[in-house]
Amino acid sequence: APGAGASGNPAGLVTPRLDAGLGPVARLAAQAYLRALDIYAGLPGAVISRGVLQLAATDRDAGRFARIAASDLFPEGTLRLLDPAAASARLGEVTDRAGLDQPGALSLDPRGILEAWCRAPSAARIQSLEPTDGGWRLSGPSEPQIFRTVILATGADLRHLWPAAPILPVRGQVSWVAAPDPETPRAAGWGGYLAPMAGGFLFGATFRRGEASTDLTDEDHRANLESLAKVRPALAASLAGVALGGRARVRATTRDHLPLAGAVPEAPGLFVLGGLGSRGLTWAPLLGEHVAARATGGPSPLPGDLAALVDPARRSAT
């Protein structure tokens, strides 16, 4: 069902990937972020809060923030550099880290998006996909059906239907806790992240490469608390002994850390939107439009050099 996979958490952050190279990858990431903000603004039920403070983990990070904020990648006001004093005021606890304020960034309820965009899907587990005259035969629990065009968007399960898919699984668990509205902390990112959600807030997430289990573990709750304590020690201490909720799912990553969006190689009529890694909420709107354009023969919003970065046939993904 929609939301059964990674996209079913009660909150996630929509933040830009910050690429100090300022080259094509940075341009693609900026375009995806701006498109995501624009499209989610039309789904008010999905937006939980606006504004995310990104904290620097190292001096190198602070330099990266400054370089990107001074560039022309984003419209003025999209990113604002904060010194540690201003970052502390914004965070709600004292920090010695510099920050990058992202006033338009979102905490989003992915389930609200699915509700708006995926109202009454015909949901079934597809067991196999075979090329046939006139398209692709999909076999599931009921009669096989043939479609001229198929778009794979099966997250970490991509290899089941496309065995050569160049993706690597990364297990992640988020932890959450109830909090009355006025006490909900503001959204922040520092490698880990904190996101307001309905009735409380969520924090995490663990990042376990090569693991694909979805069990909720105390070990991962502890890891999330330890990460939170690095930037919000008082908040983390206040959660000692509190029962945490949570959810674990699997991300699909690629070797070059860029998504797969476009035609599946040597498979006419078969397309993919996947490999969205840790930032699917930011990548998906722009790349979904790109894949839809490729599948229907319409104009893509991506210029050729940026489309090549996410081309599923590129060598660097494997």
Ligand X SMILES: Cc1cc2nc3c(=O)[nH]c(=O)nc-3n(C[C@H](O)[C@H](O)[C@H](O)COP(=O)(O)OP(=O)(O)OC[C@H]3O[C@@H](n4cnc5c(N)ncnc54)[C@H](O)[C@@H]3O)c2cc1C
- Under the rule (CB under 6 A), what is the footprint of ligand X? 2, 4-7, 9, 12-13, 125-126, 153-157, 160-161, 172-174, 193, 204-205, 249, 251, 274, 276-282
> Which of 10, 14, 52, 49 minimizes the C-alpha distance to 178?
10
Residue closer to ligand X, measured from CB, 281 or 310 = 281
Considering the complex, what minimum distance in angstroms separates the CB of residue 94 from ligand X? 25
In the complex with ligand X, which residue's Cβ is closer, 29 or 68?
29
Contacting residues for 58 by C-beta, under 8 A, at least 6 apart: none
Token look-up 């603004």 returns 41
Dump the DSSP string for 138-200.
Answer: EESSSS-EEES-EEE--GGGHHHHSTT---EEEEEEEEEEE--GGGPPPPEESSSEEEEETTE
* 3 state DSSP class of 80: strand
Which residue's CB is nearer to ligand X, number 154 or number 254?
A: 154
Identity of the residue, 42 or 241, whose beta carbon is nearer to ligand X in the bound complex: 42
What's the closest the beta carbon of residue 282 comes to ligand X, in angstroms? 5
As measured in angstroms, the least distance from the Cβ of 122 to ligand X is 10
Q: Closest approach of Cβ 4 to ligand X, in Å?
A: 4
Reply yes or no: is the peptide bond before residue 237 cis, omega within 30 of 0: no
Nearest to 248 by CA among 210, 213, 199: 213
Cα distances (angstroms) measured from residue 304 to each of 152, 166, 307: 22, 22, 5
CB of 7 to ligand X, least distance (A): 3
Which residue number, 63 or 255, has a Cβ lying nearer to ligand X?
A: 255
